C-alpha cells in the first residue's frame, strides 16, 4: 500500500528500504525474524513457499523426514492430532519426528556445556534470527554463541 511503511518502521534492523514506491528487503541486513510478514496488513510479504521442493523430495529416491513443531495440533485443526503422524507417512515421509525431540537432545548438550564450563556465559543458539543478529551486528559476540545447534 503506497505510503504505508509499517514494515520499514517495524523492522528491528532497518533492513527494508523503499525503492520505486515498494518496500524492498535488503537481504544483506535481514536477520530473517519474519516480523515484516506479521505486521503487513496487506499480506504483501509472504513466507517463501517450499512446497514444490518438498514434492520433489517426496518423489525422489532418498528417504525423507518430516520434523514437526509441537504446535502441530493447532496447525492441522482439520485432522485429529492422533492421526497426523499417519497422514505424514501416507504423504510419503519415511520418518516423522517432533522438534521437541530435538529440544530434548539440545537441552542435554546445554547441560553438558555448563557442567564443563561452570562460569560460562552463552547466548543460546536455538533461534536462527538471534544467531543472524549476532553474526551481522555484533560480530565481537560470536564467540559467546553457544556451540550447539538449534533443535
- Residue 60: what are its φ and ψ, rounded to 5°? -85, -175
Query: Going by DSSP bridges, is the β-strand pair 22-25/95-98 parallel, antiparallel, or unpaired?
Result: unpaired
CB 30 → ligand SF4: shortest distance, Å? 3
Q: Are 102 and 67 in contact (CB under 8 A)?
A: yes
Task: Note the residues at the interface with ligand SF4 (CB under 6 A).
Answer: 1, 4-7, 11, 13, 15-16, 23, 25, 30-36, 39-40, 42, 44-45
Q: Which is nearer to ligand SF4, 5 or 81 (CB)?
A: 5
Q: Which is nearer to ligand SF4, 16 or 146 (CB)?
A: 16
Q: Which is nearer to ligand SF4, 34 or 112 (CB)?
A: 34
CB 49 → ligand SF4: shortest distance, Å? 16
Q: Name, in order, each residue with C-beta under 8 angstroms of 102's C-beta and a sequence gap of 6 or more.
A: 67, 150, 151
CB 130 → ligand SF4: shortest distance, Å? 12
Q: Which is nearer to ligand SF4, 47 or 77 (CB)?
A: 47
Q: Where are the alpha helices (DSSP H) in the chain?
A: 6-10, 35-39, 51-59, 72-75, 84-91, 99-116, 128-137
CB 58 → ligand SF4: shortest distance, Å? 28
Amino acid at each position: 500500500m503506497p505510503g504505508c511503511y509499517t514494515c520499514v518502521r517495524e523492522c528491528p534492523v532497518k533492513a527494508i528500504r523503499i525503492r520505486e514506491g515498494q518496500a524492498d528487503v535488503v537481504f544483506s541486513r535481514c536477520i530473517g525474524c519474519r516480523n515484516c510478514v506479521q505486521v503487513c496488513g496487506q499480506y504483501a510479504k509472504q513466507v517463501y513457499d517450499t512446497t514444490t521442493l518438498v514434492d520433489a523430495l517426496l518423489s525422489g529416491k532418498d528417504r525423507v523426514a518430516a520434523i514437526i513443531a509441537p504446535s502441530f495440533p493447532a496447525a492441522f485443526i482439520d485432522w485429529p492430532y492422533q492421526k497426523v503422524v499417519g497422514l505424514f507417512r501416507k504423504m510419503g515421509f519415511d520418518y516423522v519426528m517432533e522438534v521437541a525431540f530435538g529440544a530434548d537432545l539440545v537441552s542435554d548438550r546445554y547441560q553438558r556445556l555448563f557442567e564443563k564450563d561452570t562460569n560460562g556465559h552463552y547466548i543460546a543458539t536455538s533461534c536462527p534470527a538471534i544467531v543472524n543478529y549476532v553474526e551481522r551486528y555484533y560480530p565481537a559476540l560470536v564467540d559467546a554463541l553457544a556451540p550447539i545447534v538449534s533443535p
